Chain A
Amino acid sequence: MDQLRRLMLKGGGASGVLAVALAAGLLRPTRVFAGDWNKVAFESKAMADALKSIGAAGAAESAEILIKAPDIAENGAVVPIEVTSRIAGAESLALLAEKNPFPLMAYIDLTNGGEAYINTRFKMGQTSVIKVVVKAGGKSYIASREIKVTIGGCGG
C-alpha cells in the first residue's frame, strides 16, 4: 500500500496515475468498481428517458414480477420494497419511481447465482407509481404498482 501511495504522490493525482497503478498491478481489480454508474440514466428526469437509458424502452408488462410494498407509506423517507422475479434467467433488476425528481433509484446486475430478488428501502416525495424492470435473455419486462405517501421523504 505504501508503494501505491508513493506512486500517487509522484503522479500528482490524475487519471493517468490510476492507469499506472493498474498497470503495476497494485490495485486489485475487485477494488476498482468497473467505473459504471449510469449517470445519464440516474440523472434522467422523466420516466421514459430513464427507461430508455437503461435499455428498457419497450419493456413488456409481466405478471411474473412481484412487488411487495405497502399500499400507503406513512413515511416517504423510508418505504420498504421487496421485489421477486419468477422470469427465468434474470440478469438485472431496476427500481424506478415515476414522480421522484430522478425516477431511477437502483440498477442491479445479478451474476453467479445472484437471485432475482431484492429487498431495500427508498425515498419518495409523493404518491407515485413504482416500476420494476427485469432483464432476462436480452428482453426487458416491467411491472408497476402505486404507492400512496402521506408524508413526503424529500422535504426540507
Chain B
Amino acid sequence: MAEPMKIRTKLVDGSAQIVVLMIHPMETGQRKDPRTGQAYPAHFIQNVTATVNDKPVLVAQLGPAISKNPLLGFRVKGAKAGDRLAIAWEDNKGEHARAEATIA
C-alpha cells in the first residue's frame, strides 16, 4: 500500500492554499542501472484529482518529468474552513492512493 500523503491547507483572502506532498519514486524510465546497463522501468504518477466537497477542483495529468515525491501546490477560490478536501492519485502501474483533509 502506498505511503500516506502530506496535506497542508491555509485560508488566505477567500482562497484555500493547498500543498500536497505525495510519496512516490517517479521513475522516468530513462535512468539506467550502472551495473547492468538496463533502464529502470518507468513508474510514475499519471493522474491526480483534488476535490472539495466532492466537486473536482483540479484534475492533473503528470508525466515522469515531475520530481520524486511530487509536490503539488494549488489554490481554490471560495473554499471555506471545514470544507472537505480529498486527493487521489493513480500511477502507470495502477497503484493508487487517496487522502482526505479538512480545510482550515
Q: Which residues of B contact A155 (CB under 8 A)?
A: 31
Q: Is the CB of B65 within 8 A of A107?
A: no
Q: Which residues of A contact B66 (CB under 8 A)?
A: 105-106, 120-123
Q: Which residues of B contact A154 (CB under 8 A)?
A: 28, 30-31
From B30, B63, B86, A42 is in contact (CB under 8 Å) with B63
State whether the Cβ of A72 lies closer than 8 Å to any Cβ in chain B: no
- Secondary structure dominating the interface of B: strand
Q: Is the CB of A112 within 8 A of B49?
A: no
Q: Which residues of B contact A120 (CB under 8 A)?
A: 66-67, 70-73
State whether the Cβ of A61 lies closer than 8 Å to any Cβ in chain B: no
Q: Is the CB of A113 within 8 A of B67?
A: no
State how many angstroms separate the Cβ of B82 from the closest Cβ of chain A.
Answer: 15
Q: Is the CB of B68 within 8 A of A106?
A: no
Q: A37-B46, A104-B63, A156-B31 are in contact. Are A119 and B57 (CB under 8 A)?
A: no
B interface size (C-beta, 8 A): 43
State whether the Cβ of B88 lies closer than 8 Å to any Cβ in chain A: yes
State whether the Cβ of B81 lies closer than 8 Å to any Cβ in chain A: no
Q: Which chain A residues numbered 91 to 130 have a C-beta less than 8 Å away from chain B?
A: 97, 100-102, 104-115, 117-124
Q: Which residues of B contact A6 (CB under 8 A)?
A: none
Considering the complex, give the chain B residue whose CB is closest to the CB of A100.
B65
State how many angstroms separate the Cβ of A11 from the closest Cβ of chain B.
Answer: 16
Q: Is the CB of B57 within 8 A of A112?
A: yes
Q: Which residues of A contact B62 (CB under 8 A)?
A: 105-106
State how many angstroms separate the Cβ of A43 from the closest Cβ of chain B.
Answer: 9
From A97, A110, A115, A121, B67 is in contact (CB under 8 Å) with A121
State whether the Cβ of A77 lies closer than 8 Å to any Cβ in chain B: yes
Considering the complex, give the chain B residue whose CB is closest to the CB of A36.
B61
Bound form: Cα–Cα A38–B47 in Å: 10
Q: Which residues of B contact A124 (CB under 8 A)?
A: 65
Q: Is the CB of B31 within 8 A of A112?
A: no
Q: CB within 8 Å of A: which residues of B?
A: 15, 19, 28, 30-34, 46-47, 49-52, 54-68, 70-79, 86, 88, 90, 98
Q: CB within 8 Å of B: which residues of A?
A: 30-31, 33-34, 36-38, 42, 77-79, 82, 97, 100-102, 104-115, 117-124, 153-156
